């Protein structure tokens, strides 16, 4: 059987639920009968609802899957959570083979689901398109293995790395197609984070259910700025200041320590992760915040437009330090390149980001 193409189908199914399952992983599933014909598909649609395997198997009659094969991008769970163990249902349905993309990094599951299946006499095939499966659930993996928030940066520049002219002109560097893709990217993350400088310069709306603004001196207009008009919003500010007493109910002001004259990003990320349950953040900001966040960044979405300013005074996408030696550069690895004519988007991850567990 061509398990790789079937695993691609599982990944495609899983992707339908982007933005709806956090903090759970994205999972898709395909079921074959004993003649190796697809008889059911499923995916985890929403946090708290059926897992992918249960979604697919419960569509079938009592013995329809018996002797068949189940393909899934993540190891079936073996414990009771919001739903019963998927491994138990697979055994109950009489499947003879299970093909997985990767083990579950959750320590209460990892390897136990596979062990339960093997002990029931089910053949298990592991590691099909494993890197693709890991990339699909990179946020979940970091949450489970490092207990830290997943940090991504989105930026759009000219070919010479400029996000705006010296006067601040930036609309629009990229095309409609590229900007439409940004909306899809935002949907993958628990929240969007930006700076007060971006709020003042661009007055963006940044539509998302959760937004974070770093406003050290409380200089943005909390009554009229577009970004504050909808969603749940966290505003981090210098802990030595006093937050405004009058503001919209959706605003949450959080005092933050200062490091080197700026809000302490490590504190911001830990606060969001540990106290607000935010597992992933997408940064959309200017060069100073982008640059400061690079050391925390797990992923970068970099859009390039086929334009060249050729002006050293233009604003750079990463502008936060002076470097003398090229060996001090932050290193990333390109994992994909997509075209949104006439623009290109590179997707990059930290060189060591695909870790084993």
Which has the closest alpha carbon to 155: 330, 342, 327, 315? 315
Q: Which CATH class is domain 144-350?
A: alpha beta
- Considering the chain, tell me which residue range(s) the CATH 3.40.140.10 domain(s) occupy: 3-137
Half-sphere exposure of 63 (CA within 13 A, CB side): 0
Which one from 12, 36, 53, 330 is the annotated catalytic residue?
Answer: 53
The model's pLDDT over 288-346, given as tens digits with 9 standing for 90+, comes to 999 999 999 999 999 999 988 887 777 888 887 788 888 888 889 999 999 999 999 99
- CATH 3.40.430.10 residue ranges in the chain? 144-350
Torsion on CA atoms 51, 147, 335, 99, rounded to nearest 10: -30
Residue 338 and residue 344 in contact, taking contact as beta carbons nearer than 8 Å:
yes
Each residue of 248-288: pLDDT tens digit?
A: 789 999 999 999 999 999 999 999 999 999 999 999 999 99
Burial class (CB in 10 A: 0-12, 13-18, 19+), 226: middle
Model confidence band, residue 54 (pLDDT cutoffs 50, 70, 90) = very high
Dump pLDDT digits (tens) for 193-206: 999 999 999 999 99
Residue 222 has pLDDT above 90, yes or no: yes
| Candidate CATH numbers 3.40.50.300, 3.50.50.60, 3.40.140.10, 3.40.640.10; the one for domain 3-137 | 3.40.140.10
Using DSSP bridges, classify how beta strands 28-32 and 38-43 pair: parallel, antiparallel or unpaired.
antiparallel
Q: Is 324 a catalytic residue?
A: no
- Residue 352's pLDDT is 62
């Amino acid at each position: 059987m061509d398990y790789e193409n079937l695993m691609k189908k599982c990944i495609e199914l899983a992707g339908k639920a982007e933005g709806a399952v956090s903090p759970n992983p994205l999972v898709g599933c395909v079921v074959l009968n004993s003649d190796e014909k697809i008889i059911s598909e499923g995916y985890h649609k929403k946090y708290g609802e059926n897992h992918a395997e249960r979604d697919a198997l419960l569509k079938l009659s009592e013995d329809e899957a018996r002797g068949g094969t189940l393909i899934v991008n993540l190891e079936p769970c073996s414990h009771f959570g919001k739903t019963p163990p998927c491994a138990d249902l697979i055994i109950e349905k009489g499947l003879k083979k299970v093909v997985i993309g990767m083990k579950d990094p959750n320590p209460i599951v990892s390897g136990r689901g596979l062990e339960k299946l093997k002990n029931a006499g089910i053949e298990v095939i592991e590691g099909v398109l494993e890197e693709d499966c890991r990339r699909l659930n990179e946020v979940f993996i970091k949450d489970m293995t490092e207990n830290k928030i997943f940090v991504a940066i989105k930026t759009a520049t000219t070919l010479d790395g400029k996000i705006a002219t010296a006067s601040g002109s930036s609309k629009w560097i990229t095309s409609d197609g590229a900007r439409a893709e940004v909306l899809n990217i935002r949907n993958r993350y628990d929240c969007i984070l930006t700076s007060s400088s971006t709020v003042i310069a661009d007055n963006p709306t940044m539509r998302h259910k959760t937004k974070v603004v770093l406003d050290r001196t409380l200089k943005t207009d909390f009554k009229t700025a577009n970004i504050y008009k909808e969603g749940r919003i966290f505003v981090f500010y210098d802990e030595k200041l006093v937050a405004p007493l009058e503001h919209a109910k959706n605003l949450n002001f959080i005092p933050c320590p200062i490091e080197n004259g700026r809000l302490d990003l490590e504190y911001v990320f830990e606060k969001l992760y540990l106290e607000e349950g935010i597992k992933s953040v997408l940064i959309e900001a200017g060069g100073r915040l982008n640059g400061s966040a690079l050391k925390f960044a797990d992923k970068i979405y970099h859009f390039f437009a086929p334009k060249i300013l050729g002006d050293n005074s233009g604003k750079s996408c990463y502008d936060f330090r002076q470097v003398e030696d090229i060996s001090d550069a932050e290193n990333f690895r390109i994992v994909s390149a997509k075209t949104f004519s006439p623009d290109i988007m590179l997707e990059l991850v930290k060189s060591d980001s695909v870790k084993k567990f």
